[in-house]
Amino acid sequence: MIQPITYPKIPTMPLIFQGKHKQNCGNPDLKRLWDQGKLPSVKYGFYGDPLTPQNVTREHLEPASLGGTRQFGNIVLASKQKNNARGNKDIGLFANLDNAKRYLAQFKDVNLPELQGGRYIKAVIKTLKKLGWIN
């Protein structure tokens, strides 16, 4: 008689995505905050394009396919069109410094329990430096 194979039980942990719960490393979900109207000063995406409820999306500065994470300073808001056009290409081919400054300036006075604008601006600048896009 053939004995059934039994495998050891492996404990599982629930998946919790960054930004979905406040306790997740303090990574707020920018798109959710924007959708909820909590970021009224943010009218333009990272690439300078106007944001609308139909086109707003999250953009990874360092693409996820190249090792980018959902960490605080790696996520910006952009239009779906610009996000899709960029894919995982170099950010310098799609962004310019004036639009990046304009984007970040929109967060200057944001002071929410889940998002402090000054902290976010510093985190994005750190990521852009890491990518060699700014000095």
Query: Smallest Cα–Cα separation from 28: which of 18, 42, 37, 38?
Result: 18
CB 79 within 8 A of CB 51: yes
SS3 assignment, position 122: helix
Q: How many whole angstroms separate alpha carbon 29 and alpha carbon 8?
A: 37
pLDDT confidence of residue 41: 97
pLDDT confidence of residue 63: 93
Q: Mean pLDDT throughout 90-103?
A: 93
pLDDT confidence of residue 116: 95
Q: What is the DSSP string of 7-35?
A: -PPPP------TTTSTTTTT---HHHHHH
Residue-wise pLDDT tens digits, 4-50: 554 444 444 333 334 443 333 457 899 999 999 999 999 999 999 99
Q: For the CA atoms of 14, 20, 26, 31, what is the dihedral angle to 10 degrees?
A: 150
Q: Mean pLDDT throughout 78-93?
A: 93
Residue at 110: amino acid letter: V
What confidence category does residue 97 fall into, taking pLDDT thresholds of 50, 70 and 90?
very high
Q: What percent of the chain has pLDDT over 90?
A: 67
**pTM of the predicted structure, to 2 decimals:** 0.79
Is residue 85's pLDDT more than 90? yes
- What is the dihedral sign for C-alpha 48, 82, 85, 120? positive
